[in-house]
Structure 1
Amino acid sequence: MKAKITVTPEKSLFVEPVCIIISNLPTNTTVKIKAILKDENEEPWFLSEAIFKTANDGVIDLSRQAPISGSYSGIDSMGLFYSMLPVDKTEKFYSVNGIETLVFLCVELEKKIIAQKTIERCFSFSNIETREIREDGMVGVFCYSKNSHKIPGIITVSGSGGGISTEMAQMLASQGYAVLALGYFGAGGLPERLENIHLEYFQNAIKWFKSQKQVDENKIALRGASYGGELVLLLAATFPEEISAVVAISPPSMLFGGFPYSNKPKWIYKNSPITPFIGGFSNNDINLTEAEDLLKTTQNGTIAFHAGTFEDPYVVTPLFLKRIEKNKSLLDALAIQVEKIQCPLLIITGEDDQVHPATMHGNLIMDRLEKYHSTIDRKHIHYSNAGHSLRTPYEPKIDLPWFVADNVFCYSGGTIEGNYRASVHAWKEMMSFFDRGQECPRPRKCTMSAVTA
């Protein structure tokens, strides 16, 4: 009989694990299993591989057996997925976001393919409606299951990359929510940069979202990562009566300047900049970009020198620590007033975040809530061996420099396995939190938890 690859399910969401079993193999033989993601030209783009030894029954079950060697180690049915690396490691962009893609699996024996199978990984179920929204100056994507009515809603926002988080909205909608991926800069019809963004824009978007027939107006949650985490904390503190739950991933605890121009304000409310905020070291230079500030502070020895190249990427966390130290007399005024938040709060961070000191910020948020005797349900989960990118489980967790802008590369932190395990756990925690927080209020519970990834 021919060797056979069985994948369950054959079509799955990016956030779902699959089971891979290879059967009808020669007994007590080593074989190589490859997983390949192809680009739009059908050329190999991402690749992983592992060598296994077959047992007496001629079966390899990835959920029960560890590879002898390869891209990953240990028993893990999704090891071939998270351990993929780009074939061209000098390529500037590694994200698989935006792609509903096919994964090609093959089994090789003595360098010959003896079994192959293609499986589909997608962002949403076929019953998910995806609508582009351009109304009253608002730009976004609205996702919900067809025929849904008055279901809990989530508004998700991007971080410093801008744009619209369509894929995240689709994945969350596939979990049973009505989701608005709201753009606020870096998309057509919106400001080009993260600066001078009016909070009233979000207030109007929340009002619009609540008016949709698919949405339960009493159950509106917020989700944001990085500077998007700063934004959702600020919105929940500014419009506390509008929000029923908040998830902030790798957020700052205080206000920072714009991006890429760090000496300009990010946020405007009632026609006034929200101040104070932490800017770059050259506070009088409003035309200094984040990348230029990094270069200056490495060249003058303020932080350890890195060239910002692929071979020598920037490590940005020391820069943020120095900025915080420089403004230590203003820290209370700089802090986001999270004590005004009236809904459950979940903070997720990586202890090895090299973009900014996210776990420190998460702890500061928890400390401030305690200081002001907040009674909200809150939890801070922080993961060892994890960095800045804790978003989607099972996608490739690339341990390579991250291209930011202006031909600048940065290191985001964590290990491939650490980021993977943290992302899987964090996704489950986030969905459990949304499920609880959107259904009914709970008694106060203050929790700090460290997870070894």
Structure 2
Amino acid sequence: MLKFAVTHFARNTLAKMHYSSGVSIRLLPSNKCSFEDPVHVTVSGLNPQQRVVLRSKITDEKGLVFKASATYQADNSGQVDLNRDSSLGGSFTGVEPMGLFWALKADVVSCKFALTDVTRTQLVDLECVSDDKVIAKVTNERHCIADGIRRIPVTEGRIRGTLFMPPGKGSFPGILDTNVFRGAPFELRAALLAKRGFAVLALAFQGYQDLPKKADKFHLEYFEEGIDFLRQQPEVKDQKIGLVSISKSGDLALSMATFLPGISATVCVNGCNANTVIPIYYKDICVPPLMFDVKRSKMTPLGLLDIGDCMNDPMSKEGLPSVIPVERASGQFMFIVSEADRNWQSVYYAKLACDRLKAHGKNNYELVKYEKAGHFIEVPYMPFCLANFHAAANHVIFFGGEPKAHSEAQCDAWQRIVNFFQKTLSCNTLL
């Protein structure tokens, strides 16, 4: 019993010595922040010129662990400041204030960070390591949903999704977000937009609750019901409505902006100017799908399937009937595209849409291009996705891009999206 007590005391003493060495990691302005916010990372209490390794780690909803690390050398006062100091090696090099976040990476190549539950705080553990010993540790709590934001599950008539409402009585401009992940609405972007003063409906359209697991056709009337539901909210009544979309939901958003009345602004991220894969119906209108040929796929040096050239050309004789007549839309457009996107030819499609608008005497569009970003431009500091399973291809595919450039694109695009909606929907910013 005495031996156990001594051993237990010794362990506790060593633990206290381990973390009371005077070394500490600070996150400014706080250990807690919104998911899209940067933090200022500093380490103090080191020996002058001491070399240490800083490590970061986050675990997603599926239990997959994403890690990053970098080596730093303290200054003469024993401090490391990521806003000032260069990484000497590791997951990144050079001065990268948020490198420990944008460089987070899983051991497996084909994966996408799973985040569907916005009520769950995302925890990023940071450690300072010297001689293989952890000498300081801190956890960054990254909140997906801000205080006061109301998250309301929606099962109204046929529509399924989640409504995010800013605090207060309104009035708030409305946004319909049609991105889905693993069948569920992608709520993170919707929650963060609600923080900025928008009422956002994250609308599911397949594979969620009692919706069809896999759609063989889309009826715009379903999306119209979602927009009408948003308009009918007392906090949104008489306000403008916007759309935000990515990938396949991009052509759905362009179709809504074209055929449904009263859409004031549309953001299309790495989408297509033609309806793809699944036919769209609205009243007596049918837009046939632009299809693809998997025979045009190729393998990357990493052994990943590249389908970037598989989609048929919208300007071909067969493709033209699938092109969405965006010139009929009355609202504003923002096209955000990645030049390294290998899901499909996003830059080409956006240029075709802009050229079509211009040819009809319209200047209601903005085109934003990112040279080395990949397909999934989402919110700031979402871990980079190089490859993942693609439902239409029924295979793991290569999405393209480089982690650092992609992270910079996500940060820049996010602010552009917020500014675009604030301008076109006349919204007051909430800090």
CA separation in 2, counterparts of 1:233 and 1:313?
Answer: 30
CA separation in 2, counterparts of 1:414 and 1:139?
Answer: 33
Q: Do structure 1's residue 220 and structure 2's residue 241 form an aligned pair?
A: yes
Measured after TM superposition, the shift of residue 247 of structure 1 is 0.5
> Which residue in 1 is equivalent to 2:287?
275
Q: Do structure 1's residue 411 and structure 2's residue 423 form an aligned pair?
A: no
Matches within 5 A, 1:54-453: 54-86=74-106, 88-89=107-108, 92-98=111-117, 100-158=121-179, 162-239=183-260, 241-258=261-278, 265=279, 267-270=280-283, 274-281=286-293, 294=294, 297=295, 303=296, 305-306=298-299, 312-320=303-311, 323-324=312-313, 328-376=316-364, 378-399=365-386, 401-405=387-391, 408-439=395-426
Are the equivalent residues in 1 in contact too, given 2:252–2:275 (CA < 8 A)?
no
> Which residue in 2 is equivalent to 1:286?
none
Q: Do structure 1's residue 21 and structure 2's residue 33 form an aligned pair?
A: no
SS at match of 1:218: coil
Q: Given the superposition, is the C-alpha separation of residues 304 and 207 from structure 1 closer, same or farther in structure 2, using an over 3 Å criterion?
A: closer
Query: Tell me, which stretches of 5 or more residues in structure 2 are unaligned?
Result: 1-20
Query: Tell me, which stretches of 5 or more residues in structure 1 are unaligned?
Result: 259-264, 282-293, 298-302, 441-453
Matched letter for residue 256 of structure 1:
T
CA separation in 1, counterparts of 2:259 and 2:152?
Answer: 28
> Which residue in 1 is equivalent to 2:10?
none
- Residues 362-394 of structure 1: CA deviation (Å, up to 9, x unaligned): 110110001111242x10001101121111211
My pick for the range that moved more, 174-183 or 211-220, is 211-220
Name the TM-score, length of structure 2 as normaliser. Answer: 0.88
CA RMSD of aligned residues (A): 2.3
CA separation in 2, counterparts of 1:244 and 1:144?
Answer: 19
CA separation in 1, counterparts of 2:226 and 2:144?
Answer: 24
Measured after TM superposition, the shift of residue 2 of structure 1 is 0.6
> Which residue in 2 is equivalent to 1:262?
none
CA separation in 2, counterparts of 1:311 and 1:128?
Answer: 43
CA separation in 2, counterparts of 1:80 and 1:27?
Answer: 23
CA separation in 1, counterparts of 2:41 and 2:208?
Answer: 39
CA separation in 1, counterparts of 2:334 and 2:298?
Answer: 35
Are the equivalent residues in 1 in contact too, given 2:165–2:194 (CA < 8 A)?
yes
SS at match of 2:384: coil
Measured after TM superposition, the shift of residue 76 of structure 1 is 2.1
- Residues 166-212 of structure 1: CA deviation (Å, up to 9, x unaligned): 22211111122111001111111212223312111111221111110
Measured after TM superposition, the shift of residue 434 of structure 1 is 0.9
Measured after TM superposition, the shift of residue 82 of structure 1 is 0.7
Measured after TM superposition, the shift of residue 311 of structure 1 is 5.0
Name the TM-score, length of structure 1 as normaliser. Answer: 0.84
Are the equivalent residues in 2 in contact too, given 1:96–1:395 (CA < 8 A)?
no
Measured after TM superposition, the shift of residue 128 of structure 1 is 0.9
Are the equivalent residues in 1 in contact too, given 2:171–2:239 (CA < 8 A)?
no
My pick for the range that moved more, 158-167 or 207-216, is 158-167
Measured after TM superposition, the shift of residue 126 of structure 1 is 2.0
- Indicate the percent of aligned positions where both proteins have the same amino acid: 26
> Which residue in 1 is equivalent to 2:3?
none
Measured after TM superposition, the shift of residue 414 of structure 1 is 0.8
> Which residue in 1 is equivalent to 2:73?
53
SS at match of 2:421: helix
Matched letter for residue 395 of structure 1:
M
Aligned residues: 403
